[in-house]
Amino acid sequence: MFFDTTLQRALVAAAAVATAPNVTELFGPHLSSRASIYLASDSNYTTSVTQRWTDYAAPAYIATIQPATVHDVQNIVKIASSHEIPFLVTGGGHGVSVQLANLKEGIQVDLGKFNNVTFDSDTQLLTVGGAAKFSQLIDPLYELGYQFPLGTAYCVGVVGATLGAGVSANQGYMGLLLDLLEEVQVVTASGDVVIASRSTNEDLFWALRGAGANFGIITSATYKVPRAVNGGKITNINYLFPGTKSREVFTYLASLDDEMPAPLALNIGTLVEPNSKQLVLLVNANFAGPVEAALPHLAPLKALNPLRYEVLSVAWPDVFSTSYFGIEDTKACGRNQHVNMRSVGGKSTDPDVIVGFLDELERFTKANPDVLTAMMVHRFATEKVLEVPDAESAYPHRELKMHIQLESEYDDRRKDSLVDAFLHSARHNLTSASGFDEPVVYVNFAHGDEGPAAWYGARNLARLSELKRKWDPRGLFNYYNAVPMGVSDGEL
């Protein structure tokens, strides 16, 4: 029998609560008056706590605790640890790793009340709470003449994005988010509060920037914010191409493999046209400079005679809303969608392999019209990223130029195996043409089965393993692309 997803979740939650510890009695007396506890069986549970972007490979919670103070966070960690209750921390709720499903009968630590944002224009220092989102700081910074690198959606948590690296369309001229990070406040696995920066707990600060989900709970983070480029104006150009122009589009992309202008970023997405059921390509180019400086770099795309074309000059906070002809991507900020995802990191473009995949995608979509599968390609410049030495942080992929994301959205969970097989095969083929000898993937886009070397780089594993044993010896933070604790230099 195939149950409705909401009913399934309710039944699982009820069964878990029947055998679970009494969360209210255990944690309640040790929390501040503004903290909240919600049991998974509560009728208002889904409307009161942060929900995940996708429910694919979801963790199983018996309750959610929303701390209001750092002391609350400390007590949650200490009590959960002493009673061997697993827990996960939620900021924006966009984590996609299948390792999250390893958490059973655990607690969600929802940092939703840690959403403060403060900016000092004299020092150019921005401090955000552990759950602050990009949407909270975009307009205030713009009005003061500053600019902050943006991820792939306004609703994403700032700290969560940073802990992986914080890749963005702005990285060619602003660098990675983690390179702007000055200091963090962390609650460690022992329940202690520590500050980590380039001069305090330097080893922890190194590890947090690239493998941060493994080492503690970030309650606040401070960044040095750059001044806006080009007066805060971005040239945003949109193109629509028929699927028959795919080879030409990706041949143009390949021409940028060796050198790409620092102000330029390209985003390419597939879409099945509702009427014709034919595959089309939506291409967005954003350029941190005036229109007249952007157009020469993009002339080859215009020469392909797109079906639709527009050139805009917009304020940087308006980039997302004007990309792809203003088509609203509700999936990016949706909740509890069943999205099955794979990602591939690349440093070169193989038009033959990509076009071959698009042919397979079109066939798969026609055979499974209830499975909406799309490919997104993000081609970001790396000039500013590569100015920072590789050893500066645990992030191992500064040479990574392209992120290929495959996303399938569907309602019928009985199709998981079918979709898994399709996405797994596609990922294998695209990885073989990525330009890397071994699989490479940005950890925040990872499916969770690629392995630590793909996420953190083989050269970093011994040091990360040593730091994991130091800062999280019991593996409390092992539910999101875990760093192995048994690696030594002699084993590499």
pLDDT, tens digit, 9 for 90 and up, residues 110-158: 999 999 999 999 999 999 999 999 999 999 999 999 999 987 788 999 9
DSSP assignment of 213-281: GGS-EEEEEEEEPPBPGGGGEEEEEEEEEEGGGHHHHHHHHHTTSS---TTEEEEEEEEE-TTT--EEE
pLDDT at 159 over 90: yes
Give the pTM.
0.93
- The three-class DSSP label of residue 408 is strand
User: Which residues make Cβ contacts (< 8 Å) with residue 80, sequence separation at least 6?
Assistant: 86, 87, 107, 476
Task: Give helix 351-367 / helix 246-254 axis angle, nearest 10°.
Answer: 140
pLDDT at position 331 is 80
Confidence class of residue 491 from pLDDT cuts 50, 70 and 90?
low
Contact present, 128 and 137 (Cβ < 8 Å):
yes
The phi and psi torsions of 456 (rounded to 5 degrees) equal -115, -5
pLDDT for 478:
97
Is the pLDDT at 436 greater than 80? The verdict is yes
pLDDT cut 90: percent of the chain above it = 90
Q: How much of the chain, in percent, has pLDDT values that exceed 70?
A: 95
Residue 277's pLDDT band, with cuts at 50, 70 and 90, is confident
- Strands 372-380 and 402-409 come out as antiparallel
Residue with tokens 């150019």: 124
Say yes or no to pLDDT of 468 above 50. yes
CA 225-230-232 angle, to 5 degrees, is 60
* 189-219: pLDDT as tens digits: 999 999 999 999 999 999 999 999 999 999 9
With CA atoms as reference, report the closest residue to 460 among 484, 441, 478: 484
CB-based contact 426:407 (threshold 8 Å): no
- Asked if the model's pLDDT at residue 463 lies above 60, the reply is yes
Q: Are 191 and 81 in contact (CB under 8 A)?
A: yes
| Cβ atoms of 24 and 39 closer than 8 Å | yes
Q: Are 54 and 45 in contact (CB under 8 A)?
A: no
| Structural contact between residues 243 and 307, judged by C-beta atoms closer than 8 angstroms | no
Q: Which tens digit of pLDDT belongs to each residue from 341-397? A: 999 999 999 999 999 999 999 999 999 999 999 999 999 999 999 999 999 999 999
Across 186-191, average pLDDT:
98
Q: With residue 384 as reference, give the H or E element that holds it.
A: none
Cα–Cα nearest to 448, from 211, 100, 107: 100
With CA atoms as reference, report the closest residue to 94 among 127, 149, 55, 150: 55
Q: Count CB atoms within 10 A of the CB of residue 128.
A: 25
Compute the distance between CA of residue 282 and CA of residue 270 in angstroms, rounded to an integer: 6
Which residue from 154, 78, 134 is spatially nearest to 109, judged by alpha carbons?
78
Q: Is the pLDDT of residue 1 over 50?
A: no
User: For the range 438-443, what are the long-range contacts, defined as Cβ-Cβ under 8 Å and sequence gap of 24 or more?
Assistant: 439/344, 440/345, 440/346, 440/397, 440/400, 441/343, 441/344, 441/345, 442/164, 442/165, 442/167, 442/343, 442/345, 442/397, 442/400, 442/403, 443/164, 443/165, 443/210, 443/211, 443/481
Please state which of the ranges 11-25, 58-72, 151-165, 268-282 shows the lowest mean pLDDT.
Answer: 11-25
Contact 167, 186 (CB under 8 A): no
Is the CA virtual torsion 387, 392, 393, 396 positive or negative? positive
Distance CA 367, CA 364 (A): 5
Query: Residue 210: enclosing H or E segment and its boundaries?
Result: helix 202-211
**Which tokens sit at 123?**
């020092």
- How much is the mean pLDDT over the chain? 94
The one-letter amino acid at 232? G
* Residue found under tokens 């050198």: 259
Strand arrangement of the beta sheet that strand 117-120 belongs to: 117-120, 125-129, 217-224, 181-187, 193-197
Tokens of 40: 């998974």
Count of CA atoms in the C-beta half-sphere (13 A) of 409: 14
- The set of residues, in sequence order, having a beta carbon less than 8 Å from that of 207 and lying 6+ positions away, is 214, 215, 394, 463, 464, 467, 468, 471
> Cβ distance 88 to 479 under 8 Å?
yes
Reported confidence tier of residue 439, pLDDT bands at 50, 70, 90: very high
pLDDT per residue as tens digits for the range 3-35: 445 445 555 555 544 455 899 999 999 999 999
What's the length of the chain?
A: 492
